[in-house]
Structure 1
Amino acid sequence: MTILELREKRNTAWNAAKTFLDSHRTEKGTLTAEDDATYSRMEQEIADLGKEITRLERQEALEAELNKPVNKPLTSKPVTAAEKPAKTGRASDAYKDAMLSAMRSNFRNVSNVLQEGVDTDGGYLVPEEYDRRLIDVLDGENIMRSLATKITTAGQHKINIAATKPAAAWIEEGGQLSFGDATFDQILLDSHKLHVAIRVTEELLYDNAFGLENYIITQFGKALANAEEDAFLNGDGVGKPLGLFAASGGGQIAETLTAAIKADDIINLVYALKRPYRKNASFIMNDKNIAVIRKLKDNNGAYIWQPSAQAGEPDRLFGYPVHTSAYAPENAIAFGDYKYYNIGDRGTRSFKQLTELFAGNGMIGYVAKERVDGKLILPEAVQILKLKAE
């Protein structure tokens, strides 16, 4: 018997069971013992038919699976290294070529491909390949981008911080419970506009042998990275990010020295930082302080500075990495876990042409813009040692 025949038989049995039930109810709406036994047999028959239908369906599915060929024939052309899947949007080669063509032609030759990246202020979004390479430059040049937490936001970003923590208390048997209020603070990552502008001659743009895109991206990236690092370390939060060394909103002041720095002062700075933060902590200091720190010795006359044993790795001080920056203040040293410094990138970086501004000089101007903010969300995660003023 086929599955279809079994389904029809089950449907007929179900209709017969409903008719029997409706016609054999007593005045009280129940069945007699004999009718109840008959209806139960009808229900059992319907259930048995359902099990048989399910069994045959599984059998058909298994048979169909076993009848499939072991190897499928190739129905499409394999993708080789030279024939990678085509990229779309700002990642496409067409968008990249159109951007370079527009730049070299003083934006007189603007392709329809660029319509996808029309900026609200008249610029054009950087092609995706360019944007990633610009990020690489920023990460490589800016020590804070490699140490901090980076967040990409579409609008104002709110970070909740626990202002109070619950505390346990001993109570007597049957004593009254004491309750505390849980409160939270909010830190807002806004956006501050940062830009860099350069001028290049028309001859340079028209020289196809010159690596135009590499030159522009590298120069823009370095300039943006330098300005960012300065703000992430020293910014006052007015029109720019709030820096680690800011007097208000930066790291906590562990100690202010009145004499020349000693090895003991570095030890005090390390242990001024709470133990959970010390697991990922490192130093940030100005290059000029390195010469002073490297001459410090412990009580056994051994230098406390530990040069890196591997190229590319930072030197260490008491086992903790040391990062140097030309923008770190000369009168302070930071020690902490900089993952608690949050960098908020708003949107995508963009190029813009300065139309006709330098036309009389035979030059073209270009501007790269970004919107970014940065704040230390937990001041206790970074301790600052203030050095004696010279």
Structure 2
Amino acid sequence: MTILEMREKRNKAWEAAKAFVETKRDKDGLLSEEDAKTYAAMEQKVKDIGAEIDRMQAMEEMENALNKPVNTPIVAKPMKADGNEKAKTGRASDEYREGMLKALRSNFKQVSNVLQEGVDADGGYLVPEEYDNRLIDVLDQENIMRKLATKITTSGEHKINIAATKPAASWIEEGGALTFGDATFSQILLDAHKLHVAIKVTEELLYDNAFGLENYIITQFGKALANAEEDAFFNGDGVGKPLGLFAENGGGQIAETLTAAIKADDIINLVYALKRPYRKSAAFIINDKNIAAIRKLKDNNGAYIWQPSAQAGEPDRLFGYPVYTSAYAPENAIAFGDYKYYNIGDRGTRSFKQLVELFAGNGMIGYVAKERVDGKLILPEAVQILKLKADTAA
């Protein structure tokens, strides 16, 4: 008897058991003792048939496993995918990427249907996801704040709740009255400020397939965006651009303003001006021009306080804390703090746009990359600023 026949037999036995119960109920809906025993036997038969079906299925699976060949012949070509990889769709698909390159090289005269999902009201096209990811990689390499800060992708105005005042504990006598404090909260708003970069490409270069046009555009756009971002993340005033880490209003807290040349003790005072919880993940940010003056500082034993990195790719250290340098950090200040409290909000995705008519007379094509980004230090006490004397770097 097959498994299918056994299943049909089980169904018939179960239907018979249900029909027996319905015909044998008394006026109270109960079964007599004899009928209950009969139904129990019918129910047990259904269970026994089910157990037999399970046994037959297990035997069939065992038989199939034993009948499989020990060695499976190779039928696919070497290095060919096994077909289990999930096909990329949308802007991540190979078709979209190829369509974008084709559109770039044809001055957007040959636009395939695959690009339609990236069309906006102004005739722009969303950057394919591979471009966007590599553009982010370039920004991370060129921009130290993107490495240190907290990055958020936003779709609208992003509000961050901040505890303005915190409740404090107090001692009371046994049976004494409780005192209640107020916990108040404020909000930091991450908006979206527009940043763009434009380049011109000759038509000859555009049609030259041997030239790495894709990598050239990504690299140039990435460097330009990264430089503009880092300048704003450090020095921005929050008007049409992010609010910088060194901003007078909304930036880090001023720990001290020096009136003489910087000394090793001033660095120590800066470290301990930062509260202990923030010091665990703290680092220095210094302008490149001030490095020479800092590296010459010595402790009371005559040893240099600067600690060169012992491993390639790792930052140098100052009193055990990492040191990051940037040409965009102000020359008259040193920052020390936990930069995870600087939030960078990326609004949406980056986009390309071509400018055909603007440079047509010169035989060139213009391209524009745009992004919308904001940045703010949400806890000023997490970063302490040491203001330097004007001639410190000298």
- TM-score, normalisation: structure 2: 0.87
Aligned with residue 79 of structure 2, among 81, 89, 106? 81
Q: Deviations over 1:6-55 (max 9, x none)?
A: 554454344434444324x4xxx9x8xxx764465456446544543553
* Aligned residues of 1:189 and 1:373 also touching (Cα < 8 A): yes
Deviates more, 1:61-70 or 1:361-370: 61-70
Unmatched 5+ stretches in structure 2: none
For 2:18 and 2:93, locate their aligned partners in 1 and report how far apart those are by CA, in whole Å. Answer: 62
Which residue of structure 2 aligns with residue 149 of structure 1? 150
Structure 1 pair 66/216, CA: closer, same or farther in 2 (3 Å)? same
Determine whether 1:65 maps to 2:61: yes
Which residue of structure 2 aligns with residue 348 of structure 1? 349
* Aligned residues of 1:157 and 1:189 also touching (Cα < 8 A): yes
For 1:107 and 1:279, locate their aligned partners in 2 and report how far apart those are by CA, in whole Å. Answer: 52
Which residue of structure 1 aligns with residue 328 of structure 2? 327
Which residue of structure 2 aligns with residue 93 of structure 1? 94
Determine whether 1:243 maps to 2:220: no
For 2:354 and 2:10, locate their aligned partners in 1 and report how far apart those are by CA, in whole Å. Answer: 76
SS in 2 for 1:299: coil
Structure 1 pair 176/80, CA: closer, same or farther in 2 (3 Å)? farther
Aligned with residue 25 of structure 2, among 7, 17, 21? 21
Structure 1 pair 158/46, CA: closer, same or farther in 2 (3 Å)? farther
For 1:62 and 1:44, locate their aligned partners in 2 and report how far apart those are by CA, in whole Å. Answer: 27
Which residue of structure 1 aligns with residue 159 of structure 2? 158
TM-aligned CA deviation for residue 374 of structure 1: 0.9
Structure 1 pair 17/317, CA: closer, same or farther in 2 (3 Å)? same
* Aligned residues of 2:17 and 2:43 also touching (Cα < 8 A): no
Q: Deviations over 1:77-121 (max 9, x none)?
A: 647535586644333333333322322332223333322321332
* Aligned residues of 1:13 and 1:42 also touching (Cα < 8 A): no
Q: How does 1:238-387 map to 2 (within 5 A)?
A: 238-387=239-388
Structure 1 pair 67/311, CA: closer, same or farther in 2 (3 Å)? same
SS in 2 for 1:187: strand
Identity of aligned residues (%): 74
TM-aligned CA deviation for residue 142 of structure 1: 0.6
Structure 1 pair 7/350, CA: closer, same or farther in 2 (3 Å)? closer
TM-aligned CA deviation for residue 76 of structure 1: 11
SS in 2 for 1:22: coil
CA-atom RMSD in angstroms: 2.8
* Aligned residues of 1:7 and 1:53 also touching (Cα < 8 A): no
Aligned with residue 52 of structure 2, among 56, 59, 64? 56
Q: Give the aligned length.
A: 382
SS in 1 for 2:271: helix
